[in-house]
Structure 1
Amino acid sequence: MNPSHDLSHQNKPKPKAVIVGGSIAGVSCAHALILVGWDVVVIEKSRRPPKGNPTGAGLALDPLSQELIGSWTGHPELLHDITSPAAIDLNQAINDEKSRKILARDENFNHRAAHWSSLHDHLFSALPPEIFLWGHLFLSFSVSSDKRSVKIRAQVLDTEETAEVDGDLLVAADGWNSLIRKHYFPDIKRRYSGYCAWRGVLDTIGNSVTMKVSDEMIQKMYQDAEKIWHPTFVQVMRETKEPFVNAIYDCDPPERIVWDNVVLVGDAAHPTTPHSSRSTNMSILDAAVLGRCLEKLGSENLTAALEEYQSIRLPVASKQVLHARRVGRIKQGLELPDRKSFNPNTANWEECEMLQLRAVPFFGHNPLF
Structure 2
Amino acid sequence: MSPKLRVAVIGAGLGGAAAAALLQKAGYPTQVYEQAPEFSRLGAGIHLGPNVMKVMRQIGIEGQLESMGSHPDYWFSRDGVSGDYQSRIPLGEFAKREYGAAYITVHRGDLHALMVEALDPSQLHFDKRLTSVDDTGREVIMRFADGSTETADLVVGADGVNSRIRETLLGEEDPTYSGWIAHRAIIDAEKLKAYDLDFEQCVKWWSPDKHMMVYYVTGDQHEYYYVTGVKTPDWDHAASFVDSSKEEMREIFHDYHPVVQALIDCTESVTKWPLLERNPLPIWHKGRLVLLGDACHPMKPHMAQGAAMAIEDAAVLVRSLEAIGAEHYTDAFELYKTNRFERASRVQQVSHDNTWLRHDEDPAWVFAHDVTTQELKSP
TM-score band by shorter chain is 0.7 to 0.9
Whole-angstrom distance in 1 between the partners of 2:324 and 2:168: 27
How big is the shift at 1:123? Answer: 0.6
TM-score (norm 1): 0.79
Structure 1 residue 35 corresponds to structure 2 residue 20: no
Structure 1 residue 318 corresponds to structure 2 residue 336: no
TM-score (norm 2): 0.78
Task: Name the CA shift for 1:49/1:82 in 2 (closer, same or farther; >3 Å).
Answer: same
Partner of 1:113: 105
Partner of 1:245: 272
| Runs of 5+ unmatched residues, structure 2 | 96-102, 189-221, 230-234, 375-379
Is the 1:36–1:294 Cα contact (8 Å) retained in structure 2?
A: no
Whole-angstrom distance in 1 between the partners of 2:323 and 2:171: 33
Match of 2:116 among 120, 124, 143: 124
Structure 1 residue 218 corresponds to structure 2 residue 201: no
2:241 aligns to what SS in structure 1?
strand
Whole-angstrom distance in 2 between the partners of 1:291 and 1:357: 32
Structure with more contact order per residue of length (Cα contacts < 8 Å, sep ≥ 6): 2
Is the 1:276–1:360 Cα contact (8 Å) retained in structure 2?
A: no
Structure 1 residue 365 corresponds to structure 2 residue 369: yes
Partner of 2:260: 233
Letter in 1 for 2:52: S
Whole-angstrom distance in 2 between the partners of 1:240 and 1:267: 29
Whole-angstrom distance in 2 between the partners of 1:151 and 1:356: 50
Matches within 5 A, 1:282-321: 282-321=309-348
Is the 1:83–1:114 Cα contact (8 Å) retained in structure 2?
A: yes
Partner of 2:11: 21
1:18 aligns to what SS in structure 2?
strand
% identity of equivalent residues? 25
1:200 aligns to what SS in structure 2?
strand
CA RMSD in angstroms comes to 2.5
| Runs of 5+ unmatched residues, structure 1 | 1-8, 157-161, 331-351
Match of 1:280 among 307, 320, 329: 307
Q: How many residues align?
A: 319
2:280 aligns to what SS in structure 1?
coil
Whole-angstrom distance in 1 between the partners of 2:360 and 2:240: 27
Deviation string for 1:160-179 (max 9, x for gaps)?
Answer: xx111111111000101212
Is the 1:323–1:361 Cα contact (8 Å) retained in structure 2?
A: no
Letter in 1 for 2:72: A
Matches within 5 A, 1:80-119: 80-95=66-81, 99-108=82-91, 110=95, 111-119=103-111
Partner of 1:135: 127
Partner of 1:79: 65
Is the 1:60–1:277 Cα contact (8 Å) retained in structure 2?
A: yes
How big is the shift at 1:127? Answer: 1.4
Letter in 1 for 2:122: E
Whole-angstrom distance in 2 between the partners of 1:190 and 1:357: 31
Which structure: larger Rg?
Answer: 1
Partner of 1:347: none
Task: Name the CA shift for 1:275/1:358 in 2 (closer, same or farther; >3 Å).
Answer: farther
1:30 aligns to what SS in structure 2?
helix
Task: Name the CA shift for 1:108/1:185 in 2 (closer, same or farther; >3 Å).
Answer: same
Q: Which structure: greater helix fraction?
A: 1
